[in-house]
Amino acid sequence: MPPPKESEKNHVTYMHTVSEAGRLLPSSSRWNSIALDFNLTPKSSASYESIPSQYPKSVDCNLVITDKKHFHIFIFVTLAIFFAIIAVALLVHFLPQKDKHQDSSINLKLAINQALTFYDAQKSGNYPKNSPVKYRGDSGLKDGNQAKTNLIGGYYDSGNNIKFTFTTAYTMTLLSWSAVEYQTKYADIDELDHVKDIIRWGTDYLLKAFIPPNGSNNLRLPEDMSYARPVSVCDGSATDLAAEIVAALSSASMVFNDDKDYSGKLVLAAERLYEVVTREDPKKQGTYTSVDACGKQARTLYNSSSYQDELAWGATWLFLATKKTHYLANATDFFLSAKSDETNLDKEVFYWNNKLNAVAVLLSGIRYFQDPGFPYEDVLKLSSNSTHSLMCSYLFKKYMSRTTGGLIIPKPENGPLLQYAATASFLSKLYSDYIDHLKISGASCETDEFSVAMLRDFARSQVNYILGQNPMKMSYLVGYGDKFPVHVHHRSASIPWDKRTYNCDDGKTWLNSKNPNPQILLGAMVGGPDTNDNFIDQRSNQRFNEPTIASNAGLVAALVALQDLPNNSDGLKNSLWEWT
């Protein structure tokens, strides 16, 4: 047959289906045929599956046997090779295999249980009698008295006795996100009720007041507090704080979808608060830490740098919870504004101060699974492109540095590294599930292509590092494995639980003690190592050795995302997208 024409050799055909909205959806063979047509990132080259062969598909030839002896040898060798291949294949199939999806030394189920138990140790208020943490008790039972309101409950933020509403709301949002995406996984390992209890403890507190209560920074057990606990009061100008609470209440409403009364109560509060914050004069909108009366005490620990990302975050979750399209219109508008104001400082991270990357992933999910079409398509394409850029920053060292041990370093001079690694693991695994659910093998950014397998390998690598596969050979999850931090910066864990009341001077004694903590703060992820993989297990070094509820939320989300279901069933079953 004649060789193909040049035009035929270079022609590549992509198959598509047409959605109800009338736009093309990506095919499994060529994701980038539409996903990267927004002209914000360079187009990738064609994948190798799409490149036609340079040789004709068939040729004419004549076979002449000139030596029967050599022919018989050829047949014998060919059959021997064939049977050898069959034997090797059977051997590989029947021999015990190491789980290629999860390192056999990593017990994700145990790690999830422990990471959730940390929140039981952080509870403030009337302490549950059935709690697995036995060295905690009632505390903060007068919280809110100074402001003549009831602010009992909630969570202590870290190793101190302070309750920050901003990080509490972020924590509840992230835990709720993991629960609505991976409800089936939580249920499979008998942790669904546990995580729902943790979320409800937080949302009950958020419902009591839209003001952030802050306590004094004294070195005493929460149970021993007898000093005044001042309350900082914020108004509608604390845009980021209010929008973060909106996100928390909205996302949690879907977690409690089976409890219509409670779910409805959460949505109603979220909508009312959203109306307050968006009705505020734009000239008065701002960050909660920019006003002394509101966020002065929080400024040194949780200084907020923007409020646009929280507005997009809150509006997106409110849309998902209510299905009201005007919230999606707001979310896309806020997303565009936040992207235009985005700085390099937080460009490739997702944590308590920057939700923009997480919003991009959520908006991408809305595009893929709900397909709202016009007039949102351009912004949703932008969210997909932004998500692809984020995934590439995780995967390729030319975009983001790593330690020698493999831990990503998105912000080398700003805070503990593990919090960023945990959320990166969660977003990369979640996004791999999105595109895998659509039967798409991968995507690309600039000149680089990535696959579902690459995203999942990266997600596992960061979690495995946290759980002990690192140069220090130490698990940074307290209580997990044979070696973990024993001098955690945490008052309840570092002061003896012997029914005695310790004053501030006593507390300082324990802070500076060289002895291990008398209590194991099970499931707390500490700050982690420096950029050289070095870690100092020293109680007074808060950057290395202090856990926070916000950081642990990222780890919980990553762990449950990586947890396998029986028979490798779809991890997105009963997920956010089925519910919406």
C-alpha 151/C-alpha 348 separation (Å) is: 35
* pLDDT of the residue at 186: 97
Q: Is pLDDT above 90 for 363?
A: yes
At 452, the amino acid letter reads V
DSSP per-residue letters across 110-149? HHHHHHHHHHHHTB-BS--TT-S-TT---B-TTTTGGGTS
> Do the Cβ atoms of 238 and 295 come closer than 8 Å?
yes
C-alpha 491/C-alpha 60 separation (Å) is: 82
* pLDDT of the residue at 80: 77
Q: Read off the pLDDT of each residue in 55-70 and give the average, rounded to a whole number.
A: 51
* pLDDT of the residue at 71: 65
* pLDDT of the residue at 512: 81
Structure confidence by residue, pLDDT tens digits, 257-266: 999 999 999 9
- Given pLDDT bands bounded at 50, 70 and 90, which one contains residue 89? low
* pLDDT of the residue at 32: 33
- Considering the chain, what percentage of its residues have pLDDT values greater than 90? 58
Q: Is pLDDT above 90 for 217?
A: no
At 275, the amino acid letter reads E
CA-based torsion, 501, 503, 509, 510: positive or negative: positive
* pLDDT of the residue at 64: 54
Q: Is pLDDT above 50 for 97?
A: no
For the chain, the distance separating the N- and C-terminal CA atoms, rounded to the nearest angstrom, is 55
Q: How much is the mean pLDDT over the chain? A: 82
- Given pLDDT bands bounded at 50, 70 and 90, which one contains residue 49? very low
- Considering the chain, what percentage of its residues have pLDDT values greater than 70? 80
Identify the DSSP state of 525: B
Q: Read off the pLDDT of each residue in 252-279 and give the average, rounded to a whole number.
A: 95
C-alpha 155/C-alpha 172 separation (Å) is: 11
C-alpha 402/C-alpha 410 separation (Å) is: 8
* pLDDT of the residue at 256: 98
* pLDDT of the residue at 146: 80
* pLDDT of the residue at 85: 78
Q: List residues with catalytic annotation.
A: 489
Q: Is pLDDT above 50 for 223?
A: no
Using alpha carbons only, what angle is made at residue 454 by residues 13 and 477, rounded to the nearest 5 degrees? 155
DSSP per-residue letters across 164-225? -HHHHHHHHHHHHHHHHHSHHHHHHTT-HHHHHHHHHHHHHHHHH-SS-B-----SS-GGG-
Burial class (CB in 10 A: 0-12, 13-18, 19+), 229: buried
* pLDDT of the residue at 57: 38
- Given pLDDT bands bounded at 50, 70 and 90, which one contains residue 23? very low
* CA-to-CA separations, 366 to 317, 382, 461, in angstroms, rounded: 11, 13, 28
Q: Is pLDDT above 60 for 40?
A: no
Please check whether the domain covering 108-579 is classified as CATH 1.50.10.10: yes
Structure confidence by residue, pLDDT tens digits, 382-433: 999 999 999 999 999 999 999 999 999 998 776 789 999 999 999 999 999 9
* pLDDT of the residue at 427: 98
Number of Cβ atoms within 10 Å of the Cβ of 385: 21
Q: Read off the pLDDT of each residue in 11-23 and give the average, rounded to a whole number.
A: 34
* pLDDT of the residue at 373: 92
Instruction: Spell out where 8-150 has E strands.
Output: 17-18, 24-25
Q: Read off the pLDDT of each residue in 327-333 and give the average, rounded to a whole number.
A: 98
* pLDDT of the residue at 508: 76
In 370-527, which ranges are continuous DSSP H helix? 377-395, 418-437, 452-466, 491-494, 504-511
Q: Bigger pLDDT: 498 or 109?
A: 109
Taking the domains of the chain in order of start, what are their residue ranges?
62-97, 108-579
* pLDDT of the residue at 104: 64
